[in-house]
Structure 1
């Protein structure tokens, strides 16, 4: 079902961020290095360092021809992949930016991070439209509902805060995790929200009422990423415990554990980030061991 295909080396320090290219069969990685790297999924090899950075990169996000590079410094670089140049620098956050997402129907970008604030930017001219505080410390992750109308924020205090994207009114707070919420994702079919935490649990919240449906003891340590397959009923999780797990997204059955401790190929340090390739053929994982691993998926 899922097998190790390639390990890509080259980064000299831990890797925190991955993003697919929207134009080619390629993806980007970045972390505690001095550059953002492009890799080819056709040749399974290094392509180039596409741009240098001055501080660690905590998040990457692509939208059409644009790559957003969120840094520890609080700066967000907007890089035009077609023109191969920096188009804008977004400056508001005073501390590291941990996540950034596009709200397409409003032509807006939202960002958040260690300062506990949300910043909302125009996708047209990259001006700061507004900003507001969420909590006094870190907001780790952002998820958007299927219609982009609701925004879920995973917070350090263990609470998931749900906002209306039309006016950014706080709709509700989901309390269930004991420690910081480190991953949130809405299911592609729009029927539930799933969250992962430093408490090593996955929680499934029914939509539209956000009633707690499932509590899954998923990992031994922090859950750092939850990613749904783009077309099929599966999702993958990864953790500080150095394992990747593949789940059924309809009944939450565990299909596969990828871990050195289970005598499969795997990472030898914390796994910080995963993405599926755009066509769903590959799962891509990376972390503190400085490796990028490509896993072939055959349903």
Structure 2
């Protein structure tokens, strides 16, 4: 179902984040070596250093022709891909920004990170519309519901908080993880929210009421990303335990393990991020071993 295709090297330090290009023909990677790199899925090769940055990059998010680059310094760069330049710098967070997401229907960008604050920005003129505190510690991850009506935030205090995107009022708190929440993803069919944590667990929350529908002992160590396939009934997870796992999104059954310990190709250090290509043909993973691995998906 997943077969190793290519290993792309070039980064000199750990890689923390990935994002698909707007045209779906490639992807971006960034991490601790102060540059955002573009890769081609057509040639499986390095394209260019898209943009230099002043500090480590913890999150990338592509929206239309804009790439948002969230940094350890607290700054978020808005990079116009067509113009090939930074068109705005969003300056609010006092500590590292760990995640950024867009709500297209509202033309808003949401950011959060180590300061425990959420900032809401206008995509029209990049002004900050609103900010509010979540906890006095790190908020690690953001997920936007399929209908864009709810925003899920995963925090260091092990709680998943759900906010109404209309006014950013707190709707509910999900308390099941025993350690910090490090990954969140809504299912494309709108039936579930999946959370992953440093407790190595996956929690499956049934929508719309967020009742705990399933608890999966998924990995040996922290779950760092959950990624749903764009069209097929599967999702992938990656972990500090150096493994990638493929799960059924309807039956929550484990279908594939990719790990050096299981005698497959794999990463030799913590896997920090994985994404599916826009067309669903490839799974892309990266981590502390400075490698980007591309896996072909055959359902």
Report TM bin, short chain: over 0.9
In the alignment, is the contact (CA less than 8 A) between 2:150 and 2:165 conserved in 1?
yes
Indicate the residue corresponding to 1:129 in structure 2.
Answer: 129
Q: Give the aligned length.
A: 299
What secondary structure, in the 3-state scheme, does the structure 2 residue paired with 1:177 have? coil
Instruction: Give the deviation of 1:200 after TM superposition.
Output: 0.2
Q: What residue is the counterpart of 2:194 in the other structure?
A: 194
Q: CA deviation at 1:34?
A: 1.7
Measure, in 1, the Cα distance between the counterparts of 2:23 and 2:234: 25
Aligned 8 A contact 2:24 2:277 in 1: no
Residues 23, 65 of structure 1: 8 Å contact kept: no
Q: Secondary structure at the match of 1:126?
A: coil
Distance 2:63 2:214 in 1: 33
1:247 equivalent to 2:238? Answer no
CA distance in structure 2 between the partners assigned to 1:137 and 1:93 by the alignment: 13
Contact map agreement 2:24 2:278 (CA 8 A) in 1: no
**Which residue is 1:218 aligned to?**
218
Deviations 1:256-287 (A, max 9, x none): 00000000000000000000000000000000
- Are 1:9 and 1:291, in contact at CA under 8 Å, matched by a contact in 2? yes
- Hey, what's the Cα distance between the residues in 1 that align with 2:2 and 2:104? 32
1:115-167 alpha-carbon deviations (Å, 9 max, x no partner): 00000000000001110000000000000111110000000000000000000
How many angstroms does 1:23 deviate by? 2.1
SS where residue 268 of structure 1 aligns?
coil
- 2:208 is aligned to 208
CA contact (8 A) 2:196 2:223 kept: yes
Structure 2 residue 93 is the aligned partner of structure 1 residue 66: no
Task: Give 2:275's aligned residue.
Answer: 275
Q: What is the SS of the residue equivalent to 1:146?
A: coil
- Structure 1's unaligned 5+ residue stretches are none
Structure 1 equivalent of residue 150 of structure 2: 150
Give the TM-score of the pair, scaled to structure 2: 1.00
Q: What is the distance in 1 between the residues matched to 2:145 and 2:51?
A: 31
The unaligned stretches of length 5 or more in structure 2 are none
Q: Distance in 1 between matches of 2:281 and 2:192?
A: 24
TM-score by length of 1: 1.00
Q: Secondary structure at the residue paired with 1:82?
A: coil
Residues 143 and 152 of structure 2 are in contact (CA less than 8 Å); yes or no, is this contact kept in structure 1?
A: yes
Q: In the alignment, what sits opposite 1:31?
A: 31
Matched, 1:293 2:293: yes
In structure 1, C-alpha distance between the alignment counterparts of 2:109 and 2:115, rounded to whole Å: 17
Root-mean-square deviation (CA), in Å? 0.5
Q: 4+ residue stretches of structure 1 with deviation over 4 A?
A: none
SS in 1 for 2:115: coil
How many Å apart are 1:24 and its aligned residue?
4.6
